[in-house]
Amino acid sequence: MEMNPIQYFTISIIPVLLAITVHEAAHGYAAKYFGDKTAFFLGRITLNPLKHIDPIGTILIPGALLLLSAPFLFGWAKPVPVNFSNLRNPKKDMMWVALAGPASNFFMAIIWVILLNFTQSTQVNYSLFISGMCQVGIMINLVLMLLNLLPIPPLDGGRMAVSLLPNPWSYKLASLERYGMFILLFMIMSGLLTVILLPLLRFFQNLLVGIFL
């Protein structure tokens, strides 16, 4: 289905908000499960997108990428606050709290693929609109999963690496957190992020389509 940028933006609103909102809520739920109730007390374990929206990361960046017809979408929400010292086993449990976000995106991508399969196999009203929404849902969730699994603090993959590495290496990697967003910005501007993510994105898209479609 050929769409102009405004139509593409319209069908992308729900998938993008869901992908980012569920990602952050999953972090909060995992933190609560492992002993830290900071996000719970602040009301951040919720699917209400208003609690998670970041004006730049949730609206401006994804919207600009959509209007510029970028090869993939990504964005972020307000990070769910986690006090790792409250976790029962801070270094070990940090990995599970970090993994919860990307894992939620992977499961949402599966749900979007299943919904796409249902839409294509039935003559439901607005099927073209829904199938377009499903395709965006698959893409945004896989991109968020893959992006956040990069081993760069403060991304989830960076926190997972800090959890898994021996203490001397863990401390060194954690010390890079202050530079993490600059590293990511460099990767975006240099095109390195696209080089890394696109092959992985195609692999997981083909994998899910092959299994569920």
Q: Is 24 a catalytic residue?
A: yes
Catalytic residue among 17, 23, 24, 84: 24
- Please, is 26 exposed, middle or buried when counting C-beta atoms within 10 Å of its C-beta (0-12, 13-18, 19+)? buried
d(CA 68, CA 207): 27
Question: Please, are residues 48 and 55 in contact by the beta-carbon 8 Å criterion?
Answer: no
SS3 content of the chain, % helix, strand, coil (to 5): 75, 0, 25
| Residue linked to tokens 């929206």 | 53
> DSSP per residue over 49-70, as a string?
GGGT--IIIIIIHHHHHHHTT-
Q: Which residues are catalytic?
A: 24
